Homo-oligomer: A and B are copies of this chain.
């Protein structure tokens, strides 16, 4: 089975207020979507950026349109001109998220060296936690709520992708290249350990303190995780 891209949920990216009636002229034409203008694209991006900021902290219900509008630097009605519903903004965010969020796993190649592939995957996930913490938190917020908006995609697309990669892992196990263990829980543990640095960032920093809580913590984490997944905690004689 090919890597298979997630289907995108879009479908709701109409320019704005649908059909400014102006196309009464064309009458029966099958609703040509009309390409987005520059301004529309720019404003939508600004809004999505602001929405990410707010949703990722307060969750869907806890976030307010006013707040998003304020962060986006525009009035509420103006924002609603581009996204007529609060849900619409969230939906867009979620579908964009799922695509980019799973890309790292798709990149794990069956024909590479197992340890190199797994290590690279962990690195990539850790980099995402470092560079896109808000996306990680947005995702986490959705999970905590029971993923009402994306449960279907989880059960279909995500499951398919993970099934595929679990097969790859099992092949490696069959070949004796990595230890035989549960490939699904292996993937879970990579997700958990890497995303932890985005989602629980406050806690991580509170504990590491000023001294070690700087940007270096991601390098430390990478080094630690590398060892964990390679050898666990069993002491080995020095090389």
Contacts and interface: CB of A to CB of B under 8 A. Distances in A.
Interface of A: 56-63, 114-115, 118, 137, 140-141, 143-147, 151, 154-155, 158-159, 162, 176-182, 184-186, 188-189, 191-193, 195-197, 199-204, 206-209, 212, 220-221, 223-225, 227-236
Main SS at interface, chain A: helix
Contacts of A114: 233
Contacts of A201: 143
Nearest to A209: B159
Contact of A62 (B58, B155, B224): B58
15 contacts: A56-B144, A58-B61, A61-B62, A114-B233, A141-B144, A143-B199, A143-B202, A144-B144, A147-B202, A158-B206, A182-B223, A185-B221, A189-B225, A192-B195, A227-B232
Given A196-B191, A232-B231, A235-B177, A206 B62 contact: no
